[in-house]
């Protein structure tokens, strides 16, 4: 009887269709609707929207999944964004896989940033021990490429304005889908001047 139960369990597993891996070509077609804000290849020309070209596939999947979750729970769970949550609401799991595969395969267009405050580099590389501000380099790396395995996104070359918007959201906790609240903890200790300087420095990293 036990062997029969095991056999049934194995059969059910084998007969259950597995979610196909992300298809970048399918994602390219599905991404047409994203192009108005993010550009056809994920390099947004509008600095309030993020560049998502070349972003880690797992990070893109996490964000899209949590934006969809917020839409389905009225903002009580996931990542609630007034523009992106409704856009993500109708996405299937396979849509998310395909979109993430496509955008992660694109090449990021780097930003040109002038007048980068020295404070930004200081905070990114060394933090501020007196205020308990952790250096950004600890998670996002010296070149701003993050760590896909650890779930830390690539941020180098991102629009300074978008970075500023997100740091302010973490600061006031209106964005709270960060791992273990790490970004909220850092951002709440930053001043407006800190955020401005960091945003410009991160955007300038190549």
117: buried, middle or exposed (CB in 10 Å: 19+, 13-18, 0-12)? middle
Domains and CATH numbers, the chain: 23-104 (1.10.760.10), 118-204 (1.10.760.10)
CB-based contact 159:165 (threshold 8 Å): no
b/e sequence 143-176, b meaning 16+ C-beta within 10 Å: ebbbeeeebbbbbbbbbbbbbbbbbbbbbeeebe
The answer on whether 48 is annotated among ligand-binding residues is: no
CB-based contact 119:104 (threshold 8 Å): no
Q: pLDDT for 48-75, tens place per residue?
A: 999 999 999 999 999 999 999 999 999 9
CB-based contact 53:40 (threshold 8 Å): no
The answer on whether 182 is annotated among ligand-binding residues is: no
The answer on whether 84 is annotated among ligand-binding residues is: yes
Angle between helices 57-72 and 93-104 (to 10 degrees): 140
Q: In the predicted model, is pLDDT for residue 36 greater than 80?
A: yes
The answer on whether 10 is annotated among ligand-binding residues is: no
The answer on whether 140 is annotated among ligand-binding residues is: yes
pLDDT cut 90: percent of the chain above it? 88
User: How sure is the predictor about 111, in pLDDT bands with cuts at 50, 70 and 90?
Assistant: confident
This prediction's pTM: 0.88
The answer on whether 171 is annotated among ligand-binding residues is: no
Where do we find the tokens 């407006």?
A: 192
13: buried, middle or exposed (CB in 10 Å: 19+, 13-18, 0-12)? exposed
Query: Which pair of structure tokens corresponds to residue 196?
Result: 């401005």
The answer on whether 87 is annotated among ligand-binding residues is: no
């Amino acid at each position: 009887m036990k062997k029969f139960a095991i056999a049934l369990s194995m059969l059910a597993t084998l007969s259950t269709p597995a979610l196909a891996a992300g298809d970048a070509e399918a994602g390219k077609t599905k991404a047409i609707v994203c192009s108005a804000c993010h550009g056809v290849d994920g390099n947004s020309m509008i600095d309030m929207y993020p560049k998502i070209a070349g972003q880690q596939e797992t990070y893109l999947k996490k964000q899209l999944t949590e934006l969809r979750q917020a839409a389905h729970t009225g903002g009580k769970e996931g990542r609630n964004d007034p523009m992106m949550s409704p856009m993500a609401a109708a996405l299937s799991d396979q849509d998310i896989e395909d979109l993430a595969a496509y955008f992660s395969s694109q090449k990021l267009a780097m930003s040109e940033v002038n007048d980068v405050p020295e404070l930004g580099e200081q905070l990114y590389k060394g933090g501020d021990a007196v205020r308990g501000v952790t250096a950004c380099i600890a998670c996002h790396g010296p070149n701003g490429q993050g760590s896909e395995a650890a779930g830390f996104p690539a941020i180098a070359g991102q629009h300074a304005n978008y970075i500023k918007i997100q740091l302010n959201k973490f600061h006031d906790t209106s964005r709270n889908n960060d791992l273990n609240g790490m970004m909220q903890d850092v951002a709440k200790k930053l001043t407006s001047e800190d955020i401005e300087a960091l945003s410009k420095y991160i955007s300038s990293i190549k």
